[in-house]
Copies of this chain bind each other. A is one copy, B any other.
Amino acid sequence: MCGIVGMVGQGPVNQEIYDALLLLQHRGQDSTGIATAESNGIFHISKARGMVREGFRTRDMRTLLGGIGLGHVRYATKGTASNEEEAQPFYVNAPYGIVLVHNGNLTNTRELTDELFHRDRRHLNTSSDTELLVNILGSELQSEIGGPDLDPAQVFAAVTRVHERVEGSYAAIALIAGYGLLAFRDPFGIRPLILGTRAADPSASVGESIGVEAVGHSGGYEWVVASESLVLENAGFEVVRDLLPGEAVFITLDGTLHTQQCAPTPQLVPCSFEYVYLARPDSVMNGIAVYESRLRMGDRLADTIAKYTPIEAIDVVMPIPDSSRPAAMQVARKLGIEYREGFYKNRYVGRTFIMPGQAVRKKSVRQKLNAMSSEFKGKNVLLIDDSIVRGTTSREIIQMARDAGAKTVTFASAAPPVRYPHVYGINMPSREELVAHNRTIPEIAEELGCDYLVYQEVDDLKAAILEGSDVTDLDMSCFDGRYITGTVSAEYLAWVEGSQSS
C-alpha cells in the first residue's frame, strides 16, 4: 500500500506535490520521496524516512526545482520498514535517465531479477520491486532506441513489453529526463490511478472538452496523475478519468497528452480493500464513491446482523473510529438503534522512551483509543469495525468495552473473514496469523471474547461496492482465495510469508 502522484505544470511543482503527498499520507507513513525535473533534464530527488511533514525541510524543497515531478508515500509491504534505501522514487541513468514511483506488488520478482542480472547486467541494489520495475522499463526503453529522439510510440512499445514481462499489481509514474511524464496501470487495474487536468491560467475554464478526445491537445493545460481523486479535488484539477487497466499516459514537457492501451486483453478487477479500508472516504475510485460504498456496506451488514443476533437487546451502536463510522451509522439507522461514539481516538501519538532499568511497556490499543465509561456502563453494545485481520486489536477493543462497563458486546465486521494472504500490495500477515484462518465464526468469536460476532457476507461486500457502477469484477482474493494474475502459486505464497516474517 503506497500513494503516488505525478504532475506536469507550467511553473514549479514541488509545493503541490508535497501537498498531494500530505493528502495521500494515509496510504503510507514509512518513508516518502519527491523527484522533480527541470526542462534541461536535471533531476532533483529528496527522500526521507517517516512522514511527509518531517521528511522535507526548506532546504530540501528549494532544491526540488522544475515544472514536472512525482512523489511517493510508502507503507512497507516487503522488507523492513526502516530501510531508507528502499524509499522511492528509484532512479536509473541509462537510458535517458528515469525516475519511477510505484504502488503495488510484483509476483514474479525472482524470474525478473535473474533476467536483469544475466541478460542486461543491470545491478539491483535493493530487494524493492520498484527498483526492478524501473530497470525493466529502462531495459525495454533501451531496446527501443532508434533515431535521435524518443517518441510516444517508443514509450508505449516499452510499456507493452513491461506488461508482458511483469506480473502482479502496479500503478506507476515515471519521469523520463528531457521528455516527460509516463504513467501506467497493470492490465487488471488492481491498484488505482486517476488523471486530472486544469487550465494553466486559472481564470480560463477547462470546459467540456476534456475526455478521451483530449488526446493530443497541447499547451495551456497542467496535468496530475494520482492514487486518489481527492488530490485532484483539493488542488483544483478536474477529473479526466481513471486510467484504464493496461493503459499508459505520456505527457510531454510542453503539456501534450498521449494515451494508449498497452495490454492486449485488459480487464478491470480493482482491489476491494481500497473500499473497505484503504482509500479516503472522500475519494471516487473507478467511478465508485468510497464513502457511499461504505454506507452501503453498513446497510447490508445491518441485515446480516439482524439475521444472526438478537438485535432487540442492543442498546447502542458504536463505530471503531475512524474508518467504520459510515457503516456503523447506517447499521444504527437501519436497525433503529441509538448511535453513539463511545470510543475516542487519540490523535496525538507519542513514543515510549526506553529508560535505563525500566521494562519496555507493551504497545496497546489503549494508547490509541479511549472508551468513555458513561457511554458503556450497563449497556448492550454493538461495535462495528471495517474488517478483522489478526484479531488482536479487536480482542483488546472488546475487553476495553467490558472494562468500561458494557453488559454484552456484539462485534460486527463490514468485511468478510480474511482467510488468505493479500499479494497485491497490502501488507498482511501470513495465514497462520489471520484469526479467521482455519477457524469457524463461533471459534473466532471465542478467540475475540465477544458475545456475538457477525461478518459481512462475501457477496454482500461485492454488491455493496459495485452497486450502481459499471465495474463488474473485484479483486477479493484475501476473502475468497481467487488470484487474478497467473503466478500466485502455493509456493509463491509460502515464499511471501517467509520473507515478510523475517
Contact = CB atoms under 8 A, between A and B. Distances in A.
B92 A121 contact: no
A145 interface: yes
A43 interface: yes
A325 interface: yes
Contacts of A58: 353-354
Interface size class of A (residues with CB under 8 A): 35 or more
Given A95-B121, A347-B347, A15 B352 contact: yes
Given A63-B85, A93-B92, A96-B123, A12 B355 contact: yes
A224 B419 CA distance: 45
Contacts of A354: 58
A230 B51 contact: no
Given A15-B353, A94-B135, 10 more contacts: A19-B350, A22-B348, A41-B125, A52-B350, A58-B354, A280-B344, A282-B370, A282-B371, A291-B374, A326-B341
Nearest to A121: B95
Interface in A44-95: 44, 51-53, 56, 58, 61-63, 84-85, 92-95
A358 B292 CA distance: 40
Sort A-B residue pairs by CB-CB distance and give the 10 closest, nearest first: A97-B123, A25-B348, A95-B121, A282-B344, A61-B353, A282-B372, A22-B350, A22-B348, A93-B123, A289-B374
Interface in A157-203: 177-178
> Which of A23, A93, A234, A326 has the most chain B CB within a 10 Å cutoff?
A93
Contact of A85 (B44, B84, B177): B44
A135 B93 CA distance: 9
A479 interface: no
Contact of A94 (B85, B123, B358, B372): B123
A93 B125 contact: yes
A121 B135 contact: no
A291 B121 contact: no
23 contacts: A12-B355, A15-B361, A19-B367, A22-B350, A25-B348, A53-B351, A58-B353, A58-B354, A62-B353, A62-B355, A63-B84, A93-B125, A93-B135, A94-B121, A95-B123, A234-B366, A280-B344, A281-B341, A282-B344, A282-B371, A289-B374, A291-B372, A291-B374
A93 to B, nearest CB: 5
A356 B61 CA distance: 11
A156 interface: no
Nearest to A53: B350
Contacts of A351: 53
A348 B291 contact: no
Interface string A1-38: 00000000000101100110011011000000000000
Contacts of A301: none
A44 B355 CA distance: 15
Contact of A14 (B43, B51, B135, B355): B355
Nearest to A125: B43
A209 interface: no
A480 interface: no
Given A97-B123, A370-B230, A62 B356 contact: yes
A502 to B, nearest CB: 15
Contact of A42 (B42, B126, B375): B126
Contacts of A122: 93-95
A433 interface: no
Contacts of A292: 374
A251 interface: no
A339 interface: yes
A492 B282 CA distance: 47
Interface in A350-407: 350-356, 358, 361, 366-367, 370-375
A233 interface: yes
Interface string A317-336: 00000000110010000000
Nearest to A43: B125
A120 interface: yes
Contacts of A281: 341, 344, 372
